[in-house]
């Protein structure tokens, strides 16, 4: 019987080195429809830290970047978001009047209750933010990456952890009332 070499790593130590560390992973936040509690969104992004639309867009929608179709080629992408039980955006764009003109929106609805929870901007007017925009090439320079974003209406989603918190839900409801009164 041989004695183990104190300089060589044990089997347990080598297994620990091969396993990826969970500490480096970003936490996943899940969000539900405020009206029917249906699960709609999973993201590694903190919704409170995301930018919002500024005036003349009165709705103050949260701007959530979505992964492009070429994320498999970009292993360095840190954040990820996925729309879960939402409907396919409306086929026909809705024309919204703004102080500075008009805007075409393709509404995104809850998959259960069909309440509008967000929208995409029409790709003709805003090709960089369109759901239908190509991931690269085409109209832009070679290798240019086009970002896809979804605009989420304030108060339409509630984070899973806040679902039973009455104070947090009151804040979400106040946010919904605030933008809908201005719009």
Which strands make up the sheet holding 157-159, listed edge to edge?
A: 81-83, 39-43, 29-33, 157-159
Mean pLDDT over each residue of the chain, to the nearest integer: 74
Q: Identify the pLDDT of residue 79.
A: 85
Q: How many CB atoms lie within 10 A of CB 179?
A: 18
Question: What residues have CB less than 8 Å from 109, skipping those under 6 apart?
Answer: 86, 87, 90, 115, 116, 117
Number of residues that this document lists for the chain:
183
Is the separation of the CB atoms in 104 and 93 below 8 Å?
yes
pLDDT surpassing 60 at residue 21:
no
Q: How many CB atoms lie within 10 A of CB 94?
A: 13
Q: Identify the pLDDT of residue 76.
A: 56
Q: Tell me: the pLDDT tens digits for 156-181?
A: 998 888 877 777 777 777 776 665 55
35-44, 92-101, 140-149, range with greatest mean pLDDT: 35-44
For the domain bounded by 29-67+78-126+146-182, which CATH number is listed?
A: 2.170.150.20
Question: Locate tokens 């102080």: which residue?
Answer: 99
Q: Tell me: the pLDDT tens digits for 83-136?
A: 998 877 788 888 888 878 888 999 999 999 999 999 999 766 555 544 443 333
Q: What is the DSSP letter of 49?
A: G
pLDDT surpassing 90 at residue 63:
yes
Average pLDDT over residues 22-39: 86
DSSP per position, 9-29:
PPHHHHHHHHSPPGGGSPPPE
Average pLDDT over residues 134-146: 37
Q: Identify the pLDDT of residue 132.
A: 41
pLDDT surpassing 60 at residue 75:
no
């Amino acid at each position: 019987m041989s004695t183990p070499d104190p300089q060589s790593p044990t089997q347990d130590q080598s297994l620990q080195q091969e396993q990826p560390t969970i500490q480096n992973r970003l936490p996943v936040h899940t969000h539900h429809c405020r009206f029917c509690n249906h699960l709609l969104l999973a993201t590694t992004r903190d919704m409170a830290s995301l930018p919002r639309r500024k005036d003349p867009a009165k709705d103050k929608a949260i701007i959530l970047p979505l992964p492009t179709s070429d994320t498999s080629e970009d292993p360095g992408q840190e954040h990820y978001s996925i729309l879960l039980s939402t409907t396919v955006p409306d086929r026909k764009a809705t024309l919204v009047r703004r102080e500075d003109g008009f805007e075409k929106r393709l509404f995104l609805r809850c998959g259960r209750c069909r309440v509008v929870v967000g929208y995409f901007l029409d790709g003709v007017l805003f090709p960089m933010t369109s759901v239908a925009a190509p991931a690269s090439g085409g109209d832009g320079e070679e290798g240019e990456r086009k970002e896809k974003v979804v605009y989420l209406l304030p108060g339409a989603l509630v984070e899973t952890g806040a679902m039973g918190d009455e104070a947090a839900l009151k804040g979400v409801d106040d946010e919904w009332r605030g933008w809908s009164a201005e719009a």
